[in-house]
Structure 1
């Protein structure tokens, strides 16, 4: 099978699919106790690894049936030092888990990829703090130092790119972009926003993207938005800067981050409605390439995104 080492078909235009809300699917649909939402912890035994294989196969098969590419986003959103320590991982054990995660993505690509559906391996980087609350904001240098070891492992394991998901603030996004550039890795930065379309720090998407671009010599290959309902950010998308947006991984729920944080039941929203909203965004911004879901979404939402876009085409 052809390898796509640093070949990124999403840059040639989309759509290219990715998965839904991995962690919420594992917790609420699979009934798995997932401390700190750390999906990578399942890699410690074969049963957990097979659960992850099944999850990725389910989503990748949607892309195969649709004849689109697929991004295999590694289950490593929480596989950084602070979270690893909370989970009882030594630095060496955490490094090993990150390597195993990328190797699993290679295994799945070898199994599933087709000529019509190229598959891209993305090393997923999550925020140092909570995905809904930036907490103490690092400066860019601290952020680069913090995330560099994880990024280096992904480069060594031949991931195709780095994707920083649920970035809550400008300095951390800048640090990730710098660390990825230093490792020779393409990087995509995905910001999350509150119900007002602004980052948790209050910055606008426009200003956040401009600031990271200015501080990194336009290092990110594109930006994304994740972990927010389309209604929360669609009104903020206006102007030439939106050309820097390359993907959406939205929630199906209209709940705020605070409401989601306190929820004891899953709000999966309406898959059909989410599909229609994606079709509307794609009609406005046909350069969007990467389409997937975030908290509360699963394979049903990805199927409806594909269906709605085919109807709109």
Structure 2
């Protein structure tokens, strides 16, 4: 009797056309959600509904909650990015795990948030979909505010404030709701701790095995400073070797750095991850409180920098993270359209190193 086919090797049951699209042209993912929410200048009342009127903690700033209390705002943002040219929009669920929502006393609402977020994004994508331009919904799984690899206590290196199993269970709950709500793919993003990402990958694989369907998965790490490492200590190459077993549709980098500082790291990732697509959605430069968006770069600046990535053959998926707006996404869309996407090939046999050595 033949061995069962691993979930990661099965054909996609949703977004089945996405790999061909990525091979044909550079594909656009949306920009920042938080930046756009800030434009609405919402108050505490906007983060409450009749069920939360008497909730004893401040809720302002819990942007994931807005899918329940101000769905009109989230829908408007999705539609603005779709109108700007985004092929893929992310659900407003970056912090919608039960672990992250514990900070607001709302862990019990995590599943409902993810379900509603996926439904809002799905409805918006369907309104903009056409035969020649399909639109996709990425169920966004953020890193959580806790880390499985790093001690929260400088005096106790072995201390942890979360376990692998707790992360796995929280991600499983999130992913189930996103799947039910209609997402086409999963996006494990803004990874600063590879062990957290592995918990998400484990949860996704188990969910898809149980459901008998396979969705594409994109994995996106975050280089936090000029050392070229993610916070838990790995280089970009080591990070890739640690997650490649998941056989993601794409691997990439987002957040933390603007495109200028990210360039050497996305170039390195494009070199080592030869057998998968590469994504890149940087911040709009560095933080600048005097700017309208809170970040340095205007749309033409960000667009020109990402155009250079496309011209250099580094990327298949591009977009924006913190500080980017629909204007940034429109400019990126306009600029990268003339360039072919990065090619994918079978990897050469080389030693694979995944540690955090100097």
Quickly name the TM-score band, shorter chain normalised: 0.7 to 0.9
Give the Å deviation of 1:94: 2.2
Deviating above 6 A after TM superposition, structure 1's stretches of 4 or more consecutive aligned residues are none
Structure with the larger helix share? 1
Give the Å deviation of 1:116: 1.8
1:275 corresponds in structure 2 to 303
Task: Show CA shifts across 1:105-149 (max 9, x none).
Answer: 221122111112211111111111179x97558565443233111
TM-score by length of 2: 0.73
2:316 corresponds in structure 1 to 289
1:123 corresponds in structure 2 to 139
Partner residue of 1:246 out of 278, 300, 308: 278
- How many angstroms apart in 1 are the aligned matches of 2:139 and 2:60? 19
Partner residue of 2:171 out of 144, 147, 167: 147
- Residues 1:37 and 1:246: Cα distance change in structure 2 (over 3 Å): farther
Q: Does 1:234 align with 2:258?
A: no
1:11 corresponds in structure 2 to 19
- Residues 1:42 and 1:186: Cα distance change in structure 2 (over 3 Å): same
- How many angstroms apart in 1 are the aligned matches of 2:248 and 2:325? 27
- How many angstroms apart in 2 are the aligned matches of 1:265 and 1:16? 24
Describe how 1:31-42 pairs up with structure 2 within 5 A.
31-33=41-43, 37-42=61-66
Structure 2 residues not aligned, in runs of 5+: 1-11, 48-58, 153-159, 209-214, 341-358
Describe how 1:1-313 pairs up with structure 2 within 5 A.
6-12=14-20, 13=22, 14-27=25-38, 29-33=39-43, 37-45=61-69, 48-63=70-85, 70-91=87-108, 93-129=109-145, 136=160, 140-184=164-208, 185-196=215-226, 197-213=228-244, 217-227=245-255, 228-236=257-265, 237-238=267-268, 240-243=271-274, 244-255=276-287, 266-285=294-313, 288-310=315-337
- How many angstroms apart in 2 are the aligned matches of 1:226 and 1:305? 15
**Partner-residue secondary structure (3-state), 1:293:** coil
TM-score by length of 1: 0.83
Could you tell me whether the CA contact under 8 Å between 1:137 and 1:169 is conserved in 2? Answer: no
**Partner-residue secondary structure (3-state), 1:179:** helix
Give the Å deviation of 1:162: 1.1
Could you tell me whether the CA contact under 8 Å between 2:286 and 2:296 is conserved in 1? Answer: no
Give the Å deviation of 1:102: 1.0
- How many angstroms apart in 2 are the aligned matches of 1:264 and 1:312? 30
- How many angstroms apart in 1 are the aligned matches of 2:201 and 2:161? 16
Provide the alpha-carbon RMSD of the alignment: 2.9
- How many angstroms apart in 1 are the aligned matches of 2:229 and 2:169? 26
Could you tell me whether the CA contact under 8 Å between 2:168 and 2:200 is conserved in 1? Answer: yes
Give the Å deviation of 1:36: 7.4
